Amino acid sequence: MLSELFSTSFPALAVEAEHRVQVPMASSLSEFVGLLRFPDFSALQNQQVYTVALTLAAVASIETLLCIEAVDKLDPHRRVTDQNRELRAQGIGNIVSGLLGGLPITSVIVRSSANINSNAQTKMSAILHGVMLLATAMLIPGLLNRIPLAALAAILLVTGYKLAKISIFRQMFSNGKYQWIPFLVTVVTIVTTDLLTGVAIGLATSAVAILYGNLKNSYYFHRDQHHEGEMIRIHLSEEVSFLNKASIKQTLRHLPDNSIVVIDARDTQYIDFDVLELIREFRDVQAQERGITCYLVGFRDKYGIDNTHNVTSEAIPKGVLKPQQLVAVS
């Protein structure tokens, strides 16, 4: 009864338990070298090879990035891993491993967390870890085959609990629905399906949440909050994409007539072309028709839109702008 329940709830683990892969046993060094299998390059004409290769590359890269993020948080020194360097090293390692008939390699949270728990301080711990794995596979493969799966499963459960404690779920829930909904969807789909499917669905859910959040953050400028002749400053966010066009258009449309408007782009790193066209049209056409004095501040040369008379926000009298007149368009 228990075995049937186990097989129904965890089919992948049940199959692994029944068909456990054994570490090959070699009686000599030459026999161990003979276990290496060099690639059959005639398989390059098989289209399925590329499908499997891309799938493995995506899964290994995603797992490595997730492992890096988790390990950086576990590191007591709070060092930041160079992700590009890690992926390049993994790519070169997988090429060499594939040419020798080995399995794909990737960063694994269990070994990384074991190094941290052992107070490892440098990269030498990872090198020694690999050397010891190679030595045990060469010298004591029989002993490795005797390690119970239950012991390995216990290590994975303890490590998984440390990485996904109840406090982490509480923190994600406290960050708002745009954080905990993608997080929960990703966790559930990874557990019920597999890593690649779960991450893909999680990314899609996050994209939908971001798009919906941008739509909800549109700013509506109420006419009764300002009077004619006052100065209003619109501060653009760091990234202004096409998703912000509706919000900015709504804000500019409801500006009071005969007012003074400062559009501040000093903090922006990117502004979508459609948004630039909208601002340019407002300055050259709409503002003049409604008697609005429009200043453009901080727009970069690459945007192709000139700052008005080289005006800076410091040149505007500080007493004119009130806190409630600072409009942030995100």
pLDDT tens readout for residues 136-183:
888 888 888 888 888 888 887 887 777 677 877 887 788 777 778 888
pLDDT at site 229? 55
Q: Determine the length of the chain.
A: 330
Start-end of H helices in 100-231: 109-117, 124-139, 141-145, 149-163, 166-174, 177-192, 195-216
User: Is 268:239 a contact under the CB 8 Å cutoff?
Assistant: yes
Q: Is the pLDDT of residue 322 over 90?
A: no
% the chain with pLDDT above 70: 81
pLDDT at site 213? 66
The closest of 32, 21, 38 to 137, measured between CA atoms, is: 32
The closest of 95, 65, 70 to 82, measured between CA atoms, is: 65
Neighbouring residues of 164: CB distance < 8 A, sequence distance ≥ 6: 187
Least confident of 38-52, 161-175, 287-301: 161-175
Q: Can you tell me the mean pLDDT for 272-292?
A: 88
Beta bridge partners of 260: 231, 293
Q: What is the pTM of this model?
A: 0.51
CA 133 to each of CA 127, 136, 137, 154, 167: distance values in angstroms, whole numbers, following the listed order = 10, 5, 6, 20, 34
Question: In which band, very low, low, confident or very high, does the pLDDT at 88 lie, cut at 50, 70 and 90?
Answer: very high
DSSP class per residue in 62-107: HHHHHHHHHHHHH-TT-----HHHHHHHHHHHHHHHHHTTPPP---
pLDDT at site 10? 42
Q: Can you tell me the mean pLDDT for 118-126?
A: 83
pLDDT at site 14? 42
Q: Is the pLDDT of residue 309 over 80?
A: no
At 325, list the tokens: 């007149």
Give the separation between CA 176 and CA 233, rounded to whole angstroms.
29
Q: Is the pLDDT of residue 202 over 70?
A: yes
Give the separation between CA 113 and CA 130, rounded to whole angstroms.
15
Q: Give the pairing of strands 239-240 and 270-271.
A: parallel
Burial class (CB within 10 angstroms; exposed 0-12, middle 13-18, buried 19+) of 195: middle
% the chain with pLDDT above 90: 2
Q: Can you tell me the mean pLDDT for 237-253?
A: 80
Residues 126, 127, 132, CA angle at the centre, nearest 5°?
95
pLDDT at site 19? 52
Question: In which band, very low, low, confident or very high, does the pLDDT at 327 lie, cut at 50, 70 and 90?
Answer: very low
